[in-house]
Homo-oligomer: A and B are copies of this chain.
């Protein structure tokens, strides 16, 4: 069933008013008719089953039938601080990272980043990334659209990290040293509702100085297996492993 994220202020007690691109999509792309069913999420955690009621120029009204109870969110809140990669790789990371359950993305201006997000282009870029995360959240049946933060340098990232009780860095050199138990050790300490900040370097990796600074600020340097992962693969590995740990393995434990 088609799913749309609608601003919370467009919901009333029994109805939701859909405008903009979503109204266009319902009317012109999906060619829906009155009484057709859709799912409307308010990006505050609630998802409602709604029936199309009426159409107007540029807007659609739908009647709320019931609230959905399925929870599709990762039990822990994961923020990915991603070393800004080349080309359109950030778009891939946002799309796939949203599917895999990330709650927030931080573009991290690391030492070895080749790409620079200049101020005049950063806003346009963020708008595009927000569109991608909204669409991926709808497609993958999320309850929240991941947030996309302003780009941060190392100092800003460390200030930002102060509110996170759990912090990891995907660090290739650690993989070489055979320290693979670090990441599961962190996950085993976490319980539902906890927040994790995970840093991934850009194409050239993090410098030893960056890794040291992060380590000195409470980040655990974790290997992600013995193979060298591309920067755009590391975030997906982290999120898939987190899903496996909390949603599949622990599901097995409960039964």
Interface, chain A (partner B; CB < 8 A): 70-72, 96, 99-101, 139-142, 180-181, 183-185, 223-230, 233, 236-237, 240-241, 243-245, 247-249, 251-252, 255
Contact = CB atoms under 8 A, between A and B. Distances in A.
A37 to B, nearest CB: 16
Contacts of A99: 227-230, 233
A251 B182 CA distance: 9
A247 B228 contact: no
A244 B72 contact: no
Given A140-B227, A181-B252, A236-B240, 6 more contacts: A72-B226, A183-B248, A185-B252, A225-B244, A241-B241, A241-B248
Given A237-B100, A241-B240, A248-B241, A228 B181 contact: no
Number of copies: 2
A228 to B, nearest CB: 5
12 contacts: A99-B227, A100-B227, A139-B228, A180-B248, A180-B252, A224-B243, A227-B243, A237-B240, A237-B243, A241-B243, A241-B244, A244-B245
Given A229-B99, A230-B139, A224 B248 contact: yes
A181 B244 CA distance: 10
B241 A226 contact: no
Interface centre among A96, A229, A236, A244 (most CB of B within 10 A): A244
Contacts of A236: 96, 233, 236-237, 240
Contacts of A229: 99-100, 140
A106 B101 CA distance: 28
A225 B237 CA distance: 14
A201 to B, nearest CB: 15
Contact of A184 (B72, B142, B233, B249): B249
A225 B183 contact: no
